[in-house]
Amino acid sequence: MKRFERYGDLRDQLVVLAFSGGLDTSFCVTYLQEEYGARVLTVTVDTGGFSQEELAQIAARSKELGAAEGHRTVDAQDTFYREFLVPLIQANVLRGSVYPLSVAAERVSQAQEIARLAVREGAAAAVHGSTGAGNDQVRFDVAFAVTAPNMKSLSPIRDLEIGREDETAYLKEHGFDVPEKTTTYSVNEGLWGTTIGGKETKGSWDSVPEELYPGADPATAPEAGLEMILKFHKGEPVGLDDRDLRGVDLVVELNRIGLEHGIGRGVHMGDTILGIKGRVAFSAPAPLILLKAHRELEKLVLSGWQSFWKDQIGNFYGQLLHGAQYFDPVMRDIEAMLASSQERVTGDVRVRLRRGVVEIPGARSPYSMMDPRVAVYGEDMKLWSGDEARGFSRIYGLPSLLWARAGEERE
């Protein structure tokens, strides 16, 4: 098997591998230990979406492969929520107006945690198993470079440019079984949503089979639906109905409820970091519920210009996060602006779920700008007189009037 000079001498050196237990990362364990004599420590970063059974299976796979330094699971769910999901909620980020960045935020968080652990352990290298085709390779590379700048960053699958058949053959040659792939689809389940890729998503027309989506089919979900109240404090969700519930626990509960009612399904078409078009199917109940509720509460309490600039800056924030630019200092500046804008985003939002649809019947806040004691749209106003309104209208339309007259005089 090919070796790379830039990998240097890794014999008896510790390398930390981002490990999922799949074919690519399984290959990396064997390749680095057999070809370079490295001591591999496999690490799984749990940002949500893993069951305890799945985590145990991943650890068992690492042991089966003979990872010299064993395996670790890093529980980063709370950090992921605080550092990534809160800003995404406050920014109302939906890429292409539909997709809640289910994978981008998760991968950057995981890559950062891998690099942090590698630094603490004094590792010679941090390793990921990404191919050269997708977005994740860039997210890992950038996170490794920023978080562990003096450490080697290795990506054997991309460097070797090998396919699944070659990886499988190599593992079998070294005595390791490779479970037959039981599906042609790739399903990634995370706290902020489940993504689905397969033959249909390689084109722009076909839909993935309905049975691949988790939860109830919207057509057969409970007809009566469900109404609940989400509570927000300074732009962060903090309660559900009469329960104080926040952070990871709230997202998990909303995912559970949403799946029962067929909420959160969609397909996103967009631009990849490498400049080509990409398409993914997804199921993200909690994000779509939270973002719609949060946006409606903002409409009630923010000024028009606050809302306008939040839309621009939130969209930009989402673009940078998707594009592996999370570590650019402008992201901290945007987060500061977002936090400032959320000072009055406190209140309750009525949410109605019914057969795949999220509706917002109402919202209330102690900071509501819709105050019937002062002014009611379409009825008598208490802040100005009719003459004052007439004068305002004339001055307000003056630029358009002058433009029209200037044109008439030249014709």
pLDDT tens digit string along 129-150?
A: 999 999 999 999 999 999 999 9
Q: CA 321, CA 80: separation in Å to the nearest integer?
A: 14
Percent of the chain past pLDDT 70, that is, above it, reads 96
* Residue 183: pLDDT band with limits 50, 70, 90: low
Q: What is the mean pLDDT of residues 69-83?
A: 98
Q: Is the dihedral of CA 220, 222, 225, 231 positive or negative?
A: negative
pLDDT given for residue 329 in this prediction: 98
CB 30 within 8 A of CB 168: no
Tens of pLDDT, residues 291-328: 999 999 999 999 999 999 999 999 999 999 999 999 99
Confidence of residue 383 (pLDDT cuts 50, 70, 90): confident
- Single-letter amino acid code for the residue at 186: S
- Topology of the domain covering 5-182: Rossmann fold (3.40.50)
Residue 182 pLDDT > 60, yes or no?
A: no
- All structural domains of the chain with their residue ranges: 5-182, 187-302+344-364, 376-411
What average pLDDT does this structure show over 6-10? 95
Residue 256 CA: distances (Å) to CA of 191, 210, 216, 318? 11, 18, 11, 25
Q: What is the mean pLDDT of residues 322-340?
A: 98
pLDDT of 157 above 90:
yes
214-272, pLDDT tens digit by residue?
Answer: 999 999 999 999 999 999 999 999 999 999 999 999 999 999 999 999 999 999 999 99
Q: What is the DSSP string of 68-106?
A: TT-EEEEE-HHHHIIIIIHHHHHHT--BTTTB--TTHHH
Task: Give residue 385's pLDDT.
Answer: 85
Has residue 411 got a pLDDT over 70? no
pTM, two decimals, is: 0.93
Q: Which residues of 183-217 are buried (b: 16+ CB within 10 A; e: fewer)?
A: eebebbbbbbbbbbbbebbeeeeeebeeebbebbe
Q: CATH says 187-302+344-364 is which class?
A: alpha beta
CA distance 165 to 386: 78
pLDDT at 378 over 90: no
Question: Phi first, then psi: what are they for 385, rounded to 5°?
Answer: -95, 170
At residue 408, the pLDDT reads 82
Residues contacting 353, CB < 8 A, separation 6+? 225, 226, 227, 228, 257, 258, 261, 263, 289, 359
What pLDDT is attached to residue 1?
Answer: 86
Closest among 325, 323, 321 to 134, alpha carbons compared: 323
Round the average pLDDT of the chain to a whole number and report it: 95
Domains 5-182 and 187-302+344-364 are alike in CATH topology: no
